[in-house]
């Protein structure tokens, strides 16, 4: 047994302490670089906490400028179509398209997120009324400050 121990002691070690430290340092740096790359990819690829389909932040714009941001012409057409379809649920006096009224902001939001509605045959579906009601509630209660304010208005029934 003594001979075995002596032989083990005589064989040179594969790596010196200096080489081991250098290898551990390189391994640590590699891990740091890899983690940095992954975090960068996640930040750039994964959308922020705001929904991607939210468009301009209407409530933030109203807080800063006292009006909603300008909207594209195709969204204005959808806004007008929705206004006609939901006329029974809108104030008689109406409001300007850049108004910060929660009902107007709901219409603007829906104009951006609701699939195109044919202006010649506007179906006043229960789903459209439900979606409008819930969207009005969202803007009237400062929904952007809700603890869970994403994906609350998904496909299917809004009031079920």
pLDDT in tens, 126-137: 888 888 888 888
What local confidence, expressed as pLDDT, does residue 30 receive?
Answer: 94
Is 26 in the same domain as 70? no
Least confident of 32-46, 100-114, 140-154: 140-154
The tally of domains found in the chain comes to: 2
Helices (H), 46-101: 58-65, 73-85
For 25-43, what is the mean pLDDT?
Answer: 90
- Asked if residue 76 is part of any domain, the answer here is yes
- Asked if residue 77 is part of any domain, the answer here is yes
Q: Are 97 and 103 contacting, i.e. CB atoms less than 8 angstroms apart?
A: no
Is 63 in the same domain as 127? yes
For 4-11, what is the mean pLDDT?
Answer: 54
Sign of CA dihedral 147, 153, 156, 160: positive
Residue 31's domain comprises 2-45
Is 19 in the same domain as 89? no
pLDDT in tens, 86-96: 888 888 766 77
Whole-angstrom distance, CA of residue 152 vs CA of residue 135: 10
Which residues, at least 6 apart from 153, have a Cβ–Cβ distance to it below 8 Å?
A: 113, 131, 134, 135, 138
- Asked if residue 14 is part of any domain, the answer here is yes
- Asked if residue 155 is part of any domain, the answer here is no
* Mean per-residue pLDDT of the chain: 75
């Amino acid at each position: 047994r003594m001979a075995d121990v002596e032989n083990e002691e005589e064989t040179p070690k594969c790596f010196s302490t200096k080489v081991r430290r250098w290898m551990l340092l390189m391994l640590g740096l590699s891990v740091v670089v890899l983690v940095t790359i992954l975090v960068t990819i996640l930040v750039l690829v994964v959308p922020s906490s705001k929904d991607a389909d939210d468009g301009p932040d209407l409530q933030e714009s109203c807080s800063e400028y006292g009006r909603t941001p300008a909207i594209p012409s195709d969204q204005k057409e959808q806004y007008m179509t929705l206004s006609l379809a939901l006329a029974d649920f809108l104030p008689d006096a109406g409001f300007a398209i850049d108004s910060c009224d929660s009902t107007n902001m709901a219409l603007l939001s829906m104009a951006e997120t609701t699939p195109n509605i044919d202006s010649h045959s506007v179906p006043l579906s229960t789903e459209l009324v439900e979606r409008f009601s819930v969207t009005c509630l969202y803007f009237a209660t400062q929904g952007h400050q809700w603890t869970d304010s994403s994906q609350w208005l998904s496909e299917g029934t809004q009031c079920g």
